[in-house]
Structure 1
Amino acid sequence: MSVDIEQIIKKSREVCASAGTKLTHKRKNVLMVLLASATPLSAYEIVDRYKAQFQESLPVMSVYRMLDFLIQEKLVHKLETAGQYMSCAHIACDHQHETPQFLICDRCGSVKEVGIKKRIIEELERSIQSTGFMLAQKQLELHGVCEHCQSHPA
């Protein structure tokens, strides 16, 4: 990615300001922990890395509240199937984002965020609604094996 961390933080502050909220110092630091990670992290892993990176302890309940805020502002995603969090891959983008889909490698734990075309999500919603089921969340998490792990068998 050619965007540096300072550009991402600047854009994150702008996103929050446009929503009438604030990216506080600790929220920014939690986001930075996620940005620095190659794989999604649990709240407890974030607490550990936060302490190591910033020499400051955070209660896990505070981290959960900060993550809820960052999710609300669409700066972070929660992977429901894993109970882990990751920064949005498109924070610094200026284009309209599609519904996220996460490709999760079951071997190395890497996650790739890709967008799903609006028409595909609309078709999926129609299909689901025709069964009488009400969709609560549009996020898709697909498990498999990434290209790297396929080319380097265990």
Structure 2
Amino acid sequence: MAMTDIDARLKLAHETCQANGQRLTAIREKVLRLLLEADKPMSAYELLEQYKLDEQSGTQPMTIYRALSFLEAQSLIHRLASTRQYVACHHAHEKAPHSELTQFLMCDHCGGIEETPLSDVLWQAIQANAELTHFHIDQPSLEIHGTCRTCQQHGA
């Protein structure tokens, strides 16, 4: 992602936090910046290592986990359950948090990921099925593993 795009996304993140009565602290902003700059999902420990390269070397894992928890609560990032990694939300600020189903197309070869919203009809059907079983959906996302176009072309 280009630096101007990252700066614009960080500005929107500050505005979102402020609108929610929260603050995007320097640590939280740095963790979000690392995810925005990454070309693939990152684990908390990968983020910690990257963070230590630029910031304080004594930073503890809980510092990163707290920042990730905050960013996820603000709908600025997603936690990928199947890989225990995090990715910046590419559709942040477009709709209210958790108002639509997010689909992640995840390449098992290169680690690339594409985030796309799915139709409201599909999301409503999933919600109706959940309600039938008295199930409350906390994280509306669908993770689909496979092979991206680039890896297919290179014979992966």
Q: State TM-score, norm by structure 2.
A: 0.88
Q: CA deviation at 1:6?
A: 1.3
What is the rounded CA distance, in whole Å, between the counterparts of 1:127 and 1:13 in structure 2?
A: 36
What is the rounded CA distance, in whole Å, between the counterparts of 1:12 and 1:138 in structure 2?
A: 21
Residue in 1 that maps onto 2:116: 114
Q: Deviations over 1:59-81 (max 9, x none)?
A: 11111111000000011100000
Residue in 1 that maps onto 2:15: 14
In structure 2, relative to structure 1, the CA distance for the partners of 1:6 and 1:108 (3 Å cut) is same
What is the rounded CA distance, in whole Å, between the counterparts of 2:82 and 2:134 in structure 1?
A: 20
Residue in 1 that maps onto 2:38: 37
Alignment of 1:56-95 (within 5 A): 56-57=56-57, 58-91=59-92, 95=94
Runs of 4+ that moved beyond 4 A: none
* 2:135 counterpart of 1:125: no
* 2:143 counterpart of 1:141: yes
Residue in 2 that maps onto 1:102: 104
> What count of residue pairs does the alignment treat as equivalent?
150
One-letter amino acid of the counterpart of residue 55, structure 1: E
- For structure 2, the 5+ residue unaligned runs are none
- For structure 1, the 5+ residue unaligned runs are none
Percentage identity across paired residues of the two chains = 36
One-letter amino acid of the counterpart of residue 59, structure 1: Q
Determine helix, strand or coil for the equivalent of 2:129: helix
Q: State TM-score, norm by structure 1.
A: 0.89
What is the rounded CA distance, in whole Å, between the counterparts of 1:26 and 1:96 in structure 2?
A: 25
